[in-house]
Chain A
């Protein structure tokens, strides 16, 4: 694999770790804030750490919301990580009144656990065998999807109750965990995603 994988440059994520993982994959990481690239490039990662409202505000400021929606509508391979996954949801308890992209028909809520954030390696189990594998992945989050939305392949984990660890529908993959720093388990998922077949597009 020597293709480029574009990474949305939100300015607040652990971008260096995502870039390093793409390099280890044998692909070329390229940061972008260009709406046309975001909409059309063959492979796009939407990373994210920090607060829901801030993440959406920065996507709005760079005018990337419509581009993201269009590429997801066309089923262009897209990987949303951590806050990136939450941004695809309708809303979050973290930032009341702020609308997410609504691609995932569900709202994000805060953990009801004695220790928040959840930081560390949790056991991920697919509820359908189609896409995800079992294994440990690294999480760092205070908010989560408590139940799987319909129409998606799902993997779950447990932190004082089950929550959605990852979702996949066609070429769209969303992980609450951080595959870029989840060792061999994360690399295997990245590899699988990066071999999904993109739609025919204009070069970008």
Chain B
């Protein structure tokens, strides 16, 4: 049976793990290699690295970060942040990513999704959707939450899957860093609307938040500060999840 995945997320800036609310007021949380290995030892199922400062000069740093983490890590590695072309993806795969996540570039040029699926396969193509509540539904934001679009999040999720996305990383931008729990209503709506795995992100503070997200239809749960602040180890979270009846890899 396929187990539910627990995914620590490393927001990385200039080869350091940082954490803030919605990428503001960033705090230093150590080296990406140390953090990734610590979480692997604790039983993490996958590591996500999101490059927060994906400027041109930061890209070389990102590539080095990915290859250093790859050398040490023996579990899957997903990398995102400022990825805008087939060439960007190839560079990250060559550096050691197993999957690449695109976000803003998918919104501004949706054909990129088709290109990645054709070149590298759907299983490698993750589309990150940052969404915020808008009335009875949710709309997509881009550029790290700074640009609100009029695109309906549910319709967008279906579009990205039709174009070849193999997985959706769904972040509630309202909840990101809030410790208020995942947006379960949005998760339910999106997981019902698509037939690819969905990773829940944004708002996790306790193992119970994760239990609820998995019950709402998520295939995997992502968290950052919960782990970076050493409030919970991945092992502690997994043991609570198992007690609650979730299938996890121990």
Whether the Cβ atoms of B96 and A122 lie closer than 8 Å is: no
Whether the Cβ atoms of A118 and B2 lie closer than 8 Å is: yes
Question: A16 within 8 Å of B by Cβ?
Answer: yes
Question: In the complex, which of the residues A17, A122, A141, A183 contacts B70, with contact meaning CB atoms closer than 8 Å?
Answer: A17
Please name all residues of chain A whose beta carbon is closer than 8 Å to the beta carbon of B122 when the two chains form the complex.
117, 142
Whether the Cβ atoms of B1 and A122 lie closer than 8 Å is: yes
Chain B 77-129 interface residues, beta-carbon cutoff 8 Å to A: 77, 93-99, 119-124
Decide yes or no: A49 and B124 within 8 Å by CB, A21-B74, A181-B75 being known contacts. yes
- Chain A nearest CB from B213 CB (Å) reads 15
Please name all residues of chain B whose beta carbon is closer than 8 Å to the beta carbon of A159 when the two chains form the complex.
1-2
Question: A69 within 8 Å of B by Cβ?
Answer: no
Whether the Cβ atoms of B76 and A138 lie closer than 8 Å is: yes
Whether the Cβ atoms of A122 and B2 lie closer than 8 Å is: yes
Decide yes or no: A49 and B120 within 8 Å by CB, A120-B2, A120-B5 being known contacts. yes
Decide yes or no: A16 and B249 within 8 Å by CB, A120-B2, A122-B1 being known contacts. no
Question: A74 within 8 Å of B by Cβ?
Answer: no
Whether the Cβ atoms of B2 and A183 lie closer than 8 Å is: no
Question: A72 within 8 Å of B by Cβ?
Answer: no
B interface footprint on A122-138 (CB within 8 Å = 1, 0 otherwise): 11000000000000101
Question: A62 within 8 Å of B by Cβ?
Answer: no
Q: Which residue of B lies closest to A137 (CB)?
A: B249
Whether the Cβ atoms of A12 and B67 lie closer than 8 Å is: no
Whether the Cβ atoms of B195 and A114 lie closer than 8 Å is: yes
Decide yes or no: A20 and B70 within 8 Å by CB, A115-B197, A115-B219 being known contacts. yes
Whether the Cβ atoms of B166 and A119 lie closer than 8 Å is: yes
Question: In the complex, which of the residues B4, B40, B76, B196 contacts A117, with contact meaning CB atoms closer than 8 Å?
Answer: B196
Q: Top 4 A-B pairs ranked by shortest CB distance?
A: A16-B96, A140-B123, A50-B121, A136-B249
A residues in contact (CB < 8 Å) with B: 12, 14-17, 20-21, 23-24, 49-51, 114-123, 136, 138-142, 158-159, 178, 180-184, 186-187
B residues in contact (CB < 8 Å) with A: 1-5, 40, 45, 67, 70-71, 73-77, 93-99, 119-124, 166-167, 195-197, 219-220, 249
22 contacts between A and B (CB under 8 A): A12-B119, A14-B124, A49-B123, A50-B121, A50-B124, A114-B195, A115-B196, A117-B122, A118-B2, A119-B219, A120-B5, A120-B45, A120-B197, A120-B219, A141-B123, A142-B122, A142-B166, A158-B1, A178-B76, A178-B98, A181-B75, A183-B75
Apart from A14-B93, A142-B122, what are 8 other A-B pairs with CB-CB below 8 Å?
A21-B74, A136-B249, A138-B75, A138-B76, A140-B76, A178-B76, A181-B74, A184-B74
